[in-house]
Structure 1
Amino acid sequence: MSTVWKLRAGCKVNLYLDIVGVREDGYHEIESLFYPLPAPCDILDVHLSDGQGLRLSCTASDLGTEENILSRAYQRFAETTGFAPGVSVHLHKNIPMGAGLGGGSSDAAAFLSWLNARAGDHALARGDLAGLALTLGADVPFFLGNAPAWVTGIGEKLEPVACDLADYTLLVVCPAVHVNTRWAYRRWDEMRANGSVRPRKELTPENSPIMSLCFTKPPKLWNGFEEVVFHEFPALYEVKKQILNHFPDACVMSGSGSSFVALFSSVECANRCAGAMRAMGHACHASRSGEPLGLNS
């Protein structure tokens, strides 16, 4: 039997996210604090097969196509390096789509790292691999390093940060709501045009001193998409209110939604919140000090 590699592809949450402007080419510039978490996570079962090319399957059948970011990652890597082994991948999809957790980007980074580790003389240097990853999506390079980072530009500029959340239980709450990222940016543009929303500061290449607010106790978290998304999806606003009723030290929506990350200094409060969220039908994933944590419901 051939060896099967099980690749764990974790998620990220945005502890801070602001859209600081729009470039002339239409791309949005952001400032964000990305924080990696072990759960929820996707699992990639990978094994080598005869010949060349990728055979992809997925627990979500509509994702096992050539449009999947894993298919594009394989093709881009093969074109760049000339390394195109026969590979079969089965993706166990556990990170919800449209949740602001970067699941697709994480899958691509895990697969690129696996390919590069087996490419021998064809392997790419770290910077070149990050450059290839960026062509697949702005979040993919972050998952190659998988460490807390202050993110600027269109998401391609990463500055590692020492973000210690060891004192907190982190609870990721995933309502069964899909928020399309392209829609969210388009709607933000519309609301900005009519004055309904505005960035916290003007477009500038310098890092914002506001990053330091994320490291206070309790941390001050922020997501500029909340006003946009809550207007269209009031049920998500209600979810955040329910989370706040359980006394987290901080709570914020991740990405363009629909998930939330809540920081609890009290394990008991996190446990009660997880139970309440699950009773309402929302998936919950807890971690502490970078490790998954099982909470009683």
Structure 2
Amino acid sequence: MEIEAFIKAPAKLNLHLRVLNRRKDGYHEINSIMVPVSLYDFIYVRTLSEEGIEIISESDNIPKGEDNLLWTAADRFFKCSGIRGGVSVKIVKNIPVAAGLGGGSSDAARLLVLLNSIFKDVLSFKALYNIAKEIGADVPFFLRCKGSIARGIGDILEEIPHIPSFWYVLVCPPVRVSTKWAYENIKLELTGYENSNNITFQDIDDFSISEILRNDLEEVVSERYPVVREIEDLLMETKPEGVLMSGSGPSVFGIYEDLDNAKEAKDMMISHQVGDVFLVKEI
């Protein structure tokens, strides 16, 4: 019997991203604060009686085969669970691609969650986590989608219990940034990484957003893509709590406590036509 199901895959923002040492395997150790926000891709799944994985998208920019993380997630789920069968996955993309928002990683993780639900939790959370970690460094974050401190390569997660709520005006310019390129070109000697692995939020009653905003990838990305600085300067005119590039960019966000102020900032950024503009909130 075929089963149809649906799940939303949220974007994430990095409120803090420090890049530490480069490991022998090529990955970088990081120290980051990530929050999921209300910008979603939509994933529609239909199980198949025959074996095979089908990826469907109306976008020509989305790969339909093995180089799509959705395909990888489905393939590894079936292999790990021992379930014989197949799946058709339709993806509706709303999260910009290669924008520092984790869209592909979120899609993969949420598909794992959905498949496991369809097949009656055949895999433990630990098994899902191990699959997610194999797919990509930040994929495990999207299994639970909770504001978290991320360490290691982004796979060691400590949930933040009471992160304050803000509105974010997110601006995504029409350029793509390779995460691999950004990390390969960062100047580690300038990040001061030796003493940076110390972010903890056991008690964040006095949480101040301005104290944690940092992105060690921002300098190298903005040097190559000046539009990042242009967007940051424009957002600063709207008097936000802070402004930062997310992840490996080029997406930039402004932070607002008041919804009306955030709406005004969104309208202003739309008028400047520097990219796609979204008003989002933590979920």
Same fold, judged at TM 0.5 (above): yes
* Matching of residue 83 in structure 1 with residue 83 in structure 2: yes
Aligned residues: 280
CA distance in 1, matches of 2:151, 2:282: 25
The two structures have a TM-score, normalised by structure 1, of 0.87
The one-character-per-residue Cα deviations of 1:222-254 (angstroms, maximum 9, x if unpaired) are: 111111111111111111100111010011110
Question: Cα distance 1:233–1:217, how it changes in 2: closer, same or farther (>3 A)?
Answer: closer
CA distance in 2, matches of 1:120, 1:84: 15
CA distance in 1, matches of 2:209, 2:17: 19
The equivalent of 2:98 in structure 1 is 98
CA distance in 1, matches of 2:213, 2:11: 18
1:10-29 to structure 2, matched below 5 A, reads 10-29=10-29
Aligned match for 1:254, one of 246, 262, 283? 246
* Matching of residue 224 in structure 1 with residue 216 in structure 2: yes
Aligned match for 2:277, one of 284, 292, 295? 284
Question: Cα distance 1:57–1:288, how it changes in 2: closer, same or farther (>3 A)?
Answer: closer
Consecutive unaligned residues of structure 1, counting only runs of 5 or more, are 291-297
The equivalent of 1:241 in structure 2 is 233
Question: Cα distance 1:22–1:217, how it changes in 2: closer, same or farther (>3 A)?
Answer: closer
Q: What SS is found at the alignment partner of 1:44?
A: strand
The one-character-per-residue Cα deviations of 1:11-48 (angstroms, maximum 9, x if unpaired) are: 11000001011123332100000101121x11112112
CA distance in 2, matches of 1:88, 1:202: 47
Question: Cα distance 1:139–1:214, how it changes in 2: closer, same or farther (>3 A)?
Answer: farther
The two structures have a TM-score, normalised by structure 2, of 0.91
Residue identity (%): 33
The equivalent of 1:30 in structure 2 is 30
Aligned match for 1:207, one of 184, 198, 213? 198
Aligned match for 1:182, one of 177, 180, 193? 180
Which letter maps to 2:127? D
Q: What SS is found at the alignment partner of 1:14?
A: strand
Cα drift, residue 220 of structure 1:
3.6
The equivalent of 1:294 in structure 2 is none
Q: What SS is found at the alignment partner of 1:237?
A: helix
Consecutive unaligned residues of structure 2, counting only runs of 5 or more, are none
Question: Cα distance 1:214–1:68, how it changes in 2: closer, same or farther (>3 A)?
Answer: farther
Mapped contact 1:15–1:214 kept (Cα < 8 A): no
